[in-house]
Chain A
Amino acid sequence: MKPILAGLALIASTFSAQAEEVTTYMLDNGMEVVVIEDDRAPVVVHMLWYKIGSADEPVGASGVAHFLEHLLFKGTDVLEPGEFSATVAANGGSDNAFTSYDYTAYFQRVAADRLELMMQMESNRMNNLVITEADVETERQVVLEERNQRTENSPGALAREQFRAALFQNHRYGVPIIGWKHEMEQLDLADALSFYDLYYSPNNAVLVVAGDVVPTEVLALAKTYYGVIPAEENLPVRERPQEPPQRAERRITYVDERVSQPYLVRSYLAQERDPGAQQEAAALVYLAELLGGSPFTSALGQALQFDTQTAIFTSASYNGSTLDSATFDFVVAPSEGVTLSQAEAAMDAEIARFLDAPIDPARMESIRTQLRASEIYAKDDTQGLARRYGAALTQSLTVEDVQAWPDILQAVTPDDIKAVAAKTLNRDQSVTGWVVASQEEAR
């Protein structure tokens, strides 16, 4: 987390390498402000990120972070229930919110000249929410239906919950963001308000404004609307239970009649991106690409989908954007007539072969080029850039870290990849999951 420097009126700095134009400020009350300039269209994205997510929830109240996110669309002292979204719509804009393990964020996308109205309303609901018992009753039903839609009706999502719960032995990353159903059913007004009162505070928030705006004007508005909200003095230090050393691999078979295509998943704990220390994460990005990024050119794709017809789908993936431990994941869906045991053995054999063989320089160069190009393509998506900064800053990274990341990716060497592979692909820190329609398929 970025330190709050008391007594300093304003810390401002502008970064402008070849990267996007980004200006950052810090308000007196500890709120961070990030402005990304893009004048290609007269549009602005206004996002308010809170450094609070499902992994910060109290034990027994899983789902409260997401539930509270829903309740923020109810009324405040000056806004009727639903008036927030209705006002955004009446200005031709759209609004929504999302909750993850590490953050909760609210955003509006609207014509750039409506930014002030958005700030006025968003700053109002930071401290002045008015929720009734009736709101809580109805909205609890809505989030339970959301869980039905996303999870209960999806065998793949139910399986994923089981696998994550087994992978994380102590960290709250093992609890689903939307919550366990039996705990969601018990969430009440007090749960939501205690969470809200403590964590929805300027010194726990990051404002990201991206689009056709002038940084100094954004700052002036931010001071007017957010700058007047007092900091939360009792904001706790963000320390969450961490994983102990993991000493044994776990295996799970998830059986559900609604599964049509059996598949297997292998998840390992992996190093996340940390402030000033993103090299291992960068090497893991390459490792995922080399092992299972493209079905045509990756090691698993070539071996299991082309050289042999062992699998109809293979992938390896890694996303290092987490505050605490990240994961490195494999998925293999076997071909007709191939068992999960055979597919898993083929996967492990190919991973072992990859670790023993030198890395093809042409593949390294291709991935390097694709990563460099992805930075160019990313500039076409202003909201995507806003999300990149918002997520990073709520996950302890700095603007400097975000802007250094593309160069760190370019500097990765084959030795870095081999070293991080040896460290990460340790079965004692893994879960292997099979997803099948019946026990008979689990062989």
Chain B
Amino acid sequence: MRRLIIAFCLAFLGTTAQAEIDIKEVTSPGGINAWVVEEPEIPFIALEIRFRGGAALDLPDKRGAINLMTGLLEEGAGDMNAQEFQTAREALAASYSFRARDDTIAISARFLTENKDEALALLRKALVDPRFDQEALDRVRAQVLSGIASDAKDPGTIAGRVFDAAAFGDHPYGSSSDGTVESVTALTRQDMFAAHRNAMTRDRLYVSVVGDTTAEAVGGMLDDLLGALPDTGVPSPPKAGFALEGGITVVDFDTPQSVALFGHRGIKRDDPDFFAAYIVNHVLGAGGFESRLMQEVREERGLTYGISTFLMPMFHAELMLGQVASSNDTIAEAIDVTRNEWARMANEGMTAEELAAAKTYLTGAYPLRFDGNAEIAKIMVGMQMVDLSPDYVVNRNDFIEAVTLQEANRVASELMQPDDLHFVVVGKPEGLEGTQ
């Protein structure tokens, strides 16, 4: 039996907290990798599985297939129909969740030490031997169609759909991963098997385990759990172009508070300037009450309950986005203030004090993320998907500390382009005209 275990014993030396986390890398005899943290204190195990690609791997004319397929994984597998499968899961008090996102299929499992073999055997059926019974397909399809109809009347979702369609056009990012009424209605059982075969493959797989187990034991169970999946499926879509120019799009919708989504191009996760951009975004709109936008739009003027910005480095495109909601008669002012702050950051950058405060917060908050087995498992699987190594958890705060004021402000002027900023506003905004 060939089994490789590499152990990294890491201690955070953050500015405010020290935590120890011992990440072991293990490779199964069949060649499946996993990151493991042994936490024997509580008798349960958290398991996180990701398949890189996600709903963006939908074939042309099959939009929504991967989302529906993922929803059906818990609806019958092997010799069990949906009710038999769920009866068995509940009796074990295990929980499995299956979610399709734009870039990933995410599977989270939690189960007790006392019946871990049974819980893993049941999960295995869902992952490698789903049934996609016609009865289940029709039932879950009706739920998805109801969700699509609800989204069409939700201002926040409408804003996202309009922004994505204008930015990404025919690329999968340009449409909802749920699919449309027409595309979902047309999906068949064969489409489900195809989506499973295409998107849940060994070459797209990432695994992490935290809890009452050992790296050795994890190495021994990976092949049984996941080894039967095909080696490879469909290729990834190409890089998405970004077609949205600066301006305002107003979507008329009868509701008292307008919801605005705004943004432009962003920055890649592996760009050398990513950490500088991360700090810029924090100071502008991601730092909660301390961010400039929260101070100016909420604290100073009372125009909103919340405004935030975020960097979205996806696999095929990068965005810098923000969102704000304000009454129909004040949204124009909220947008005006936001534009001004965007330009101020681009033109003047931040102060040395703001940079220092951001660094103190970001480096201090980082170790606090590692609280709880499920949280640590999620962080570890996320790190693997963006090609980070286990020692990143030790070095990450150094990357933040290394950003100089000059760098941060150079990146602010490059990243933030006030003229490119596009607002999609859903509601009945007063004094606001669309530009197209």
Contacts and interface: CB of A to CB of B under 8 A. Distances in A.
A72 interface: no
Contacts of A94: 288, 365, 368
Interface string B209-247: 000000000000000000000000000000000000000
A326 B79 CA distance: 42
B355 interface: no
A363 to B, nearest CB: 9
Contacts of A377: 44, 110
B360 A110 contact: no
Contact of B43 (A152, A260, A376): A376
Given A41-B370, A113-B16, A313-B143, A82 B289 contact: yes
Contacts of B82: 296, 306
A41 B302 contact: no
Contacts of B257: 145, 148-149, 152-153
A297 B87 contact: yes
A183 interface: no
A139 B302 contact: yes
Interface stretch (B149-157, B164-172, B405-413): B149-157
Nearest to A181: B256
B388 interface: no
Contacts of B110: 377
Contact of B19 (A41, A145, A305, A312): A41
Nearest to A263: B146
Contact of A297 (B90, B299, B363): B90
B325 A376 contact: no
B284 interface: no
A153 B16 contact: no
Contacts of A305: 139
Chain B interface bracket (under 10, 10 to 19, 20 to 34, 35 or more): 35 or more
B398 to A, nearest CB: 15
Contacts, number: 189
Contacts of B188: none
Contacts of A81: 299
B360 A90 contact: yes
Nearest to A150: B305
Nearest to A40: B41
A142 to B, nearest CB: 5
Which among A90, A139, A259, A335 has the highest number of chain B CB atoms within 10 Å? A90
A111 B17 contact: yes
B150 A302 contact: no
A259 B289 CA distance: 33
Interface in B70-114: 82-83, 85-87, 90-93, 110, 112
Nearest to B92: A369
B245 to A, nearest CB: 28
Contact of B87 (A145, A296, A309): A296
Contact of B298 (A142, A373, A374, A381): A142
A137 B302 contact: yes
Given A43-B371, A333-B146, A379-B42, A92 B289 contact: no
Closest 7 CB pairs between A and B?
A: A92-B364, A141-B302, A373-B93, A296-B86, A111-B17, A148-B257, A146-B305
Given A93-B364, A143-B305, A145-B303, 6 more contacts: A41-B371, A152-B256, A259-B153, A296-B83, A313-B143, A336-B142
10 contacts: A41-B19, A90-B361, A93-B368, A110-B368, A111-B364, A145-B327, A148-B325, A149-B305, A261-B146, A380-B44
Interface of B: 14-19, 39, 41-44, 46, 82-83, 85-87, 90-93, 110, 112, 139, 142-143, 146, 149-150, 152-153, 155, 254-257, 259, 287-290, 295, 298-306, 325-327, 357, 360-368, 370-374
